[in-house]
Amino acid sequence: MPALHPALELLPRLDPALALDDLDWAVGGAVAMAFHGYSRHTDDLDVFFHGDDVNRVLFALRKAGVVFATIADPYHYAIFPDLTQPDRRIDLLFAWDDAESDAIAFPDERTVEVAGAQRTVKYFPLLLLVACKLQSNRPRDNDDVARMYERGLFDPGQARVILDRLGGDPEAIARLSRIQSGSTLPPPNRRPRGR
How many whole angstroms separate alpha carbon 40 and alpha carbon 153? 14
AA letter at 161: V
- Total domain count for the chain? 2
Distance of CA 92 to the CA centre of its chain: 11
Instruction: Tell me, yes or no, whether 117 lies in a domain.
Output: yes
Question: In the structure, what pLDDT confidence band is assigned to residue 2 with cuts at 50, 70 and 90?
Answer: low
Share of the chain above pLDDT 90, in %: 87
Clarify whether residues 114 and 39 are in a common domain.
yes
* Domain extent at residue 139: 127-181
Strand ranges (E), 51-152? 69-72, 76-79, 90-95, 108-114, 117-123
117-123 vs 45-50, strand pairing mode = unpaired
Q: What is the pLDDT of residue 45?
A: 98
